[in-house]
Amino acid sequence: MRAAQIIEQRQPLRIGNVVDPTPGPHDVIVKVEASGVCRSDWHAWMGDWAWLGLSPVLPIIPGHEFGGVVEAVGKEVKNFRPGDRVTAPFHEGCSHCPSCLGGHSNRCDNLQIFGFAHDGAYAEYVKVPKGDFNLVPLPDEVDTVTAAAIGCRYMTGFHGVVRANLKPGNFLVVHGAGGVGLSSVQVGNAIGAQVIAVDVDDAKLEMARKEGAVATVNARSENVVAAIKEITRGGAHASIEALGIQETILNSVLCLRKGGRHVQIGLTTHNEQGIAGLPIDAITAMELEIVGSLGNPRSEYDGLLSMIAQGKLNPRSLVSREIALDQVNDVLNDMTNFKTYGFNVITKFK
């Protein structure tokens, strides 16, 4: 099969033929029809996140946002057959730890990620371990490009909005209008929140308005906290931080009203390496809540896919470009220079 591999960090991916994957007893092989190019793949390529234990052994095929069709199944697989249209969360659950058994597969004690722990979906075929547990069947109304769009960034934004614990009419601030941020804007708008998007790029802020943001703040030219306090008449009910940068984490916490909730989605950059300062006195005095949000558990996929099938959510509107496998290095380089908008999805593999 044709695939793109990271051979050396920060060097062009090698694109060419590799050995096809074969299924173990519980595995499923999926023929990939669409594979998103995510900034997490860029982090793997750059060699980031070693402090999280996410340093892939090279060479490796990246890619963890995909939609496709079942090609082959292991002899112990019960729920899927060749021809089934499927997707999967980027985080694979083991199926048997307390978190997986309790419906929180995103907190799996043995969690693995496509393109980090083993080969991912920048390829014609991808192997999904524990297929009966990790694969998700697609409704007829959801095509595989949409499935790729929800594979990481969108489903992460969806779960983050769920974690924000919002009521209709509440103010939600989203810091960062990249893939996760735009997804959060769209989902927040769909559930009736008044969403404010924050970024330094006017083009991305305009995209956020198109996805339902009622207001935008350019952090390069405005005081973020003051602007949000004015727009919301005292502070937001919830705020999502999708960048993992010290400055935006502080802005997210400080823009809240009393009793507000900060949702941390963004993993930190090389500068922070997992450690960021928080305004503890303000958190205490204002009774603020700080919650983390990782991916989207398998148990929440039915609700997400139902909303997409009913037309209440439209992840495909965030797909800015469909590309060929041979263009993936260009997209990674554009990510380095912050020149990507929305989602780039590989749909041509030969």
Co-location of 229 and 325 in the same domain: no
Q: Where are the alpha helices (DSSP H) in 178-325?
A: 179-190, 202-210, 224-232, 246-254, 280-285, 301-309
- pLDDT tens digits, one per residue of 86-103: 999 999 999 999 999 999
Domain boundary among 292, 324, 340: 292
- Give the domain CATH number at 7: 3.90.180.10
Q: What is the pLDDT of residue 227?
A: 98
Judge whether 153 and 179 are in contact, CB under 8 Å.
Answer: yes
- pLDDT tens digits, one per residue of 57-66: 999 999 999 9
Co-location of 282 and 328 in the same domain: no
Co-location of 143 and 265 in the same domain: no
Give whole-number Cα distances, 32 to 53, 65, 75, 153, in Å.
27, 10, 21, 18
Q: What is the pLDDT of residue 53?
A: 81
Co-location of 128 and 166 in the same domain: no
Rounded Cα–Cα distance for residues 332 and 290 (Å)? 32
Q: What is the residue range of 7's domain?
A: 2-152+296-348
Banded pLDDT at 271 (limits 50, 70, 90): confident
Domain boundary among 271, 292, 313: 292
Q: What is the pLDDT of residue 325?
A: 98
Nearest to 93 by CA among 80, 106, 103: 106
Work out the burial of residue 241: count CB atoms within 10 Å of its CB; fewer than 13 is exposed, 13-18 middle, 19 or more buried.
buried
Q: What is the pLDDT of residue 136?
A: 97
Domain count, the chain: 2
Co-location of 321 and 268 in the same domain: no
Q: Residue holding tokens 């695939």?
A: 3
Judge whether 272 and 264 are in contact, CB under 8 Å.
Answer: no
- pLDDT tens digits, one per residue of 229-243: 999 999 999 999 999
Q: What is the pLDDT of residue 219?
A: 97
DSSP state string for 291-328: EE--S--GGGHHHHHHHHHTTS--GGGGEEEEEEGGGH
Banded pLDDT at 265 (limits 50, 70, 90): very high
- Give the domain CATH number at 254: 3.40.50.720
Co-location of 13 and 121 in the same domain: yes
Q: What is the pLDDT of residue 269?
A: 84
- pLDDT tens digits, one per residue of 158-176: 999 999 999 999 999 999 9
At 276, give phi and psi (nearest 5°). -135, 140
Q: What is the pLDDT of residue 259?
A: 98
Co-location of 270 and 175 in the same domain: yes
Residues with Cβ within 8 Å of residue 15, at least 6 apart in sequence: 2, 3, 4, 5, 325, 326, 328, 329
Domain boundary among 292, 314, 340: 292
Whether the bond into 59 is cis, omega within 30 of 0:
yes
Average pLDDT over residues 110-127: 96
Q: What is the pLDDT of residue 283?
A: 98
Co-location of 88 and 182 in the same domain: no
Co-location of 190 and 322 in the same domain: no
Co-location of 6 and 133 in the same domain: yes
Co-location of 242 and 191 in the same domain: yes
Residue 113 β-bridge partners: 91
Taking the model in full, what pTM does it have?
0.94
Rounded Cα–Cα distance for residues 43 and 341 (Å)? 17
Co-location of 193 and 183 in the same domain: yes
